Structure 1
Amino acid sequence: MNAFKIGRHMDIKVWMYLVYLTVSIGLTVWVARALSRNGLVFLEEVFADERLARAVNNLLVVGFYLLNLGYVTVAMRHSEQVGSTKHRDGGTLVEDRAGAAGARRAALLQRLRPGPVPA
């Protein structure tokens, strides 16, 4: 498929993809930096070794990039219309999965924490 028409005008779908990519990549980088900055404090408390905490934090950031940018590329490959992802309670499937995954990671890191839990 030739995305460019003869002349100076591009197909509208190309512009939509460019905007989608720009917004998706920008949001992914912004959220990854925020999670990395704030999550490092928690990881340093969980792991006694600061170097280990930074290494785990970097691995989590790389995983976050791979997961989100992988989803962006898969979403661009499917051309059918997107139906509603809303549940009856108003939440979305993505919110439910992200919340459950975050809760599992927090519970695992809480079990790895050395010593008693501060009140």
Structure 2
Amino acid sequence: MIDKIRLILALLLVAAGIGGFYLLGDKPAVLRVLSVLAGFGAAVAVMWTTALGREAVNFIKESAAEARKVVWPTRKETIQTTGAVFALVLVMGVILWVVDFSLLWFIKLILGRSA
């Protein structure tokens, strides 16, 4: 139950930060942005103390560890793959143009209209 209260408090802090942005409409933009950032910062601090917040932090850590394991393609592989994609798009464009032109010709032939 305490986690639910903390989550509601975190949502209220975010709402307060956003509300502060609009309430400080006549103040400099820096203060307005700081109001939003303070609301979000306080919400994150409260959220961090909940079970959901700890799970989120653990998920982010695991995601970063998995991202470090990714093997990125070399420049040569990237250029080759990009070239293959462009070639395939060109071939498919020509095929679709031929099919479209053929269907147009066939429909005109059936309807008895000349080009």
Of structures 1 and 2, the one with the larger relative CO (CA 8 A, separation 6+) is: 1
> Rg bigger for which structure?
2
Structure with greater proportional helix content: 2
TM over 0.5: no
TM-score by structure 2 length? 0.29
Provide the TM-score with structure 1 as the length reference.
0.28
